[in-house]
């Protein structure tokens, strides 16, 4: 423990308390003892003085009562002086005997020079005038305490003959008190040192567990719960140490549980495909997982501290967070000129135990493809409705005409019935195509593939078209020699080739030549079917494989097309692990390409 820490520690406070209590006790005891001792010494001093005065007074009374007419009897002053000279007392420093006329008749020591003089001392005058003794404590010239006393002397008849005036020094009493105070001070210092040492030992015994608990608390604050506090007894501090150890065990368990839950939450947030953004109650971002960072195209650490509306780029669309919470869900458009990008954001609040809002949670997910699919679904329903409405309207018109009597007309009735039959067959083909696409979508359209030599198979398909080919249109074959085997479902592939070749024939002008070509690309066969038709605009080229899309809607409907042929062909080719695409220029015709993997060869992409 450093010096500053010691002077701020509870150990020093215990030591100071011990010393202060001892000093207070010694001060009280010393004051009481000194006061009583001084009182006792002064009483003994006064008793000794009184005894000496009584003896001296008795001797002086004998001297005052003697008959002085006898020549052998010495004079009164001489006898009184002899009495004073014979008187011995260690405490009395000066004695004067004064007659009733206030004249000094005898004195001791250095006061003999006053013999014969009249005294004017107040204490003596009062004793002469009032026949009473008096005593008091005074200060001499050296500022020392002096005890003075005036005691009257009477003769046998009770008449005042004189006064004994004496002075006694308190030096001896004061010296005794001073010696005792020194001894008491030395004892106090010894007691303080002893109490300080005892206080240190006691304080250390008390503070040691507390210091250990403090160090353990610091260790616990760093997440280390492995250590325990030592228990030294059964007192309150030891019970506190046991409670502290129990708290340590509980905190260790709670901390482990919290860490486990935190890691679970962190793992969930990290592995979530959806992005999660947490904010405080003011909308400032406090947490963002990696998925949210990827969706927003920013580092999550750089987003911390930003405002949610700024992060979601809604500052111009939304006034405050209340609008977001009221909406609950919002589609946010992050699209640019290069690609579409839509994000769905779900907003919710975080409440504490008192139902106070402490923050907000925003879950974001990429719904670009979902929205595209939804848009395609809406377009598909619209297209189906439109495609079915046209033949149904035609059939309704002809049936109404027949109902109104046209059936009786032998020339018109067969034509009307023929149209109704054609439209019915067209709707049946459309429904069959839709069912086929639906089965493909749910993987319920299995392929019965077999080992097939493709060039020979393709010749058979082309031969079948040659037999029913319209006039002024020719088929040009550019097929390689040799045998190329592929795994395919002949029926499904026949449907593909029929759709593509039929479209080429439909859009070829009179005198046009359709080019049918097969190329060996080492790992796959590249099949191309080129027609000399009007071609397709570049921006519409990718759409020809979409359902119900027609490059020339009027002509397709006139020829009985459903708009699903190329969509079905694309699904079937991809089911054979191939690819399909088209190239075209307006006014120069269209070429449809597709690939099929060769057998016993390592597959590669184009």
Report residue 49 as tokens.
């003085």
Domain shared by 478 and 587, yes or no: yes
State the CATH number of the domain containing residue 328: 3.30.450.20
Which of the listed residues 392, 421, 441 is the one where a domain comes to its end?
Answer: 441
What pLDDT, on a 0 to 100 scale, did the predictor assign at position 85? 74
Residue 603 confidence (pLDDT) above 50 = no
**264 in a structural domain:** yes
Pair 154, 52 in one domain: yes
> What is the residue-wise DSSP string for 70-82?
STTSPPHHHHHHH
Helix (H) or strand (E) holding 93: strand 92-99
Q: Are residues 331 and 418 in the same domain?
A: no
35-81 pLDDT tens trace: 887 788 878 877 887 788 878 777 777 777 776 566 565 677 777 77
Distance CA 192, CA 566 (A): 110
pTM score: 0.41
CA nearest neighbour of 364 among 280, 272, 281, 302: 272
Q: Does residue 483 register a pLDDT over 80?
A: yes
What Cα–Cα distance (Å) separates residue 112 from each residue in 77, 81, 105, 161, 510?
A: 12, 9, 9, 20, 178
| DSSP-derived secondary structure letter, 283 | S
User: Residue 586's domain spans which residues?
Assistant: 450-597
Same domain (yes/no): 333, 376? no
Q: How many CB atoms lie within 10 A of CB 205?
A: 14
Q: How many residues does the chain have?
A: 606
Residues 128-173 pLDDT 10s: 888 788 888 777 767 777 888 888 888 777 788 788 888 887 777 7
* C-alpha span between 511 and 586 (Å, rounded): 18
Distance between CA atoms of residues 129 and 133, nearest Å: 11
Q: Are residues 43 and 119 in the same domain?
A: yes
Q: What mean pLDDT, rounded, does the chain reach?
A: 78
Q: What is the pLDDT of residue 486?
A: 94
Domain for residue 502, yes or no? yes
**Residue 409 counted as domain residue:** yes
Are 529 and 516 a contacting pair, CB within 8 Å?
yes
Q: Judge if 15 and 95 occupy the same domain.
A: yes
- Which stretch, 174-178, 396-400, 433-437, 489-493, has highest mean pLDDT? 489-493
Q: Domain boundary at 407, 441, 475, which?
A: 441
Q: Do 355 and 428 share a domain, yes or no?
A: no
Strand partners, 351: 357
Q: Which CATH number fits the domain that encloses residue 437?
A: 1.10.287.130
The verdict on 25 and 157 lying in the same domain is yes
Same domain, yes or no: 399 and 533: no
pLDDT number for residue 437 = 62
Least confident of 71-75, 109-113, 300-304, 389-393: 71-75
Distance CA 531, CA 281 (A): 66
Residue 16 inside a domain? The answer is yes
Under the banding of pLDDT at 50, 70 and 90, the label for residue 444 is low
How many Cα neighbours within 13 Å face the side chain of 571? Answer: 23
Q: How confident is the model at residue 1 (pLDDT cuts 50, 70, 90)?
A: very low
C-alpha to C-alpha distances, 586 to 58, 507, 513, 537, nearest whole angstrom: 166, 12, 17, 6
Task: Provide mean pLDDT across the span 495-511.
Answer: 87
Q: Is residue 108 part of a domain?
A: yes
CATH no. for residue 593? 3.30.565.10
Domain closes at, from 350, 366, 382: 366
Task: With CA atoms as reference, report the closest residue to 41 among 178, 173, 182, 170.
Answer: 173
Task: Quote the pLDDT of residue 582.
Answer: 92
Q: Per-residue pLDDT averaged across 478-488, rounded? A: 92
Count CA atoms within 13 Å of residue 314 on its CB side.
Answer: 21
Give the phi and the psi of residue 399 in degrees, each rounded to 5. Answer: -65, -40
Cα distance between residue 208 and residue 214, in whole Å: 10
Q: Is the Cβ–Cβ distance between 548 and 383 less than 8 Å?
A: yes
d(CA 435, CA 443): 12
Q: Structurally, how many domains does the chain consist of?
A: 5
Q: Residues of the chain with pLDDT > 90: what percent?
A: 10
Helix (H) or strand (E) holding 396: helix 368-403
Predicted confidence (pLDDT) at residue 338 exceeds the cutoff of 80: no
| Least confident stretch, 67-71, 451-455, 482-486 | 67-71
Tell whether 37 and 112 lie within a shared domain.
yes
Predicted confidence at residue 445, as pLDDT, reads 62
The winner for highest mean pLDDT among 249-258, 415-424, 538-547 is: 249-258
**Is 347 within 8 Å of 329 (Cβ atoms)?**
yes
Question: Are 414 and 536 in the same domain?
Answer: no
Q: Is residue 188 part of a domain?
A: no
Note whether 239 and 347 are same-domain residues: no
pLDDT exceeds cutoff 70 at 344 = yes
């Amino acid at each position: 423990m450093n010096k500053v820490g010691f002077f701020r520690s509870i150990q020093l406070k215990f030591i100071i308390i011990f010393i202060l209590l001892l000093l207070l006790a010694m001060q009280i005891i010393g004051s009481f003892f000194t006061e009583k001792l001084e009182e006792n010494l002064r009483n003994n001093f006064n008793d000794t003085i009184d005894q000496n005065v009584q003896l001296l007074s008795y001797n002086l009374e004998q001297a005052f009562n003697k008959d002085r007419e006898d020549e052998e009897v010495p004079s009164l002053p001489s006898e009184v002086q002899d009495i004073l000279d014979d008187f011995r007392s260690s405490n009395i420093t000066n004695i004067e005997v004064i007659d009733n006329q206030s004249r000094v008749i005898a004195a001791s020591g250095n006061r003999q020079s006053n013999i014969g003089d009249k005294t004017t001392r107040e204490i003596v005058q009062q004793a002469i005038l009032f026949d009473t003794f008096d005593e008091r404590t005074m200060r001499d010239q050296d500022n020392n305490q002096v005890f003075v006393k005036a005691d009257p002397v009477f003769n046998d008849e009770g008449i005042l003959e004189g006064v004994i005036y004496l002075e006694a020094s308190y030096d001896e009493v004061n010296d005794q008190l001073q010696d005792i105070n020194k001894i008491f001070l030395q004892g106090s210092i010894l007691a303080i040192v002893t109490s300080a040492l005892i206080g240190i030992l006691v304080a250390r015994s008390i503070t040691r567990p507390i210091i250990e608990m403090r160090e353990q608390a610091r260790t616990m604050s760093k997440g280390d719960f492995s250590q325990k506090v030592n228990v030294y007894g059964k007192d309150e501090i030891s019970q506190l140490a046991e409670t502290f150890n129990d708290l340590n065990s509980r905190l260790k368990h709670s901390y482990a549980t919290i860490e486990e839950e935190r890691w679970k939450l962190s793992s969930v947030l990290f592995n979530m495909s959806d992005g999660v953004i947490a904010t405080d109650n003011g909308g400032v971002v406090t947490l963002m997982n990696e998925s949210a960072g990827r969706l927003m195209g920013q580092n999550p650490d750089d987003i911390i501290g930003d405002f949610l509306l700024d992060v979601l780029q809604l500052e111009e669309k939304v006034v405050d967070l209340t609008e977001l919470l009221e909406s609950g869900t919002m589609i946010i458009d992050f699209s640019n000129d290069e690609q579409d990008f839509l994000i769905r954001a779900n907003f919710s609040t975080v409440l504490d135990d008192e139902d106070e809002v402490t923050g907000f949670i925003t879950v974001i997910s990429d719904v670009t493809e979902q929205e595209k699919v939804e848009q395609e679904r809406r377009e598909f329903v619209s297209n189906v409705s439109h495609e079915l409405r046209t033949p149904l309207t035609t059939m309704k018109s002809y049936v109404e005409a027949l109902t109104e009597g046209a059936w009786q007309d032998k020339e018109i009735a067969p034509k009307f019935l023929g149209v109704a039959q054609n439209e019915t067959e067209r709707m049946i083909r459309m429904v069959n195509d839709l069912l086929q696409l639906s089965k493909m979508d749910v993987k319920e359209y299995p392929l019965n593939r077999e080992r097939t030599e493709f060039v020979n198979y393709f010749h058979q398909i082309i031969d079948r078209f040659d037999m029913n080919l319209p006039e002024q249109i020719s088929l040009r074959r550019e097929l390689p020699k040799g045998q190329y085997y592929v795994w395919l479902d002949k029926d499904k592939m026949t449907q593909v080739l029929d759709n593509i070749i039929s479209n080429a024939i439909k859009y070829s002008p009179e005198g046009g030549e359709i080019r049918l070509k097969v190329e060996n690309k080492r790992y796959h066969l590249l099949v191309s079917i080129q027609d000399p038709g009007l071609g397709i605009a570049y921006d519409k080229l990718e759409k020809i494989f979409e359902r119900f899309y027609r490059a020339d809607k009027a002509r397709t409907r006139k020829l009985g097309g459903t708009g699903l042929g190329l969509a079905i062909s694309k699904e079937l080719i991809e089911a054979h692990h191939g690819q399909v695409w088209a190239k075209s220029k307006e006014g120069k015709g269209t070429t449809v390409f597709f690939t099929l993997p060769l057998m016993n060869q390592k597959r590669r992409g184009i």
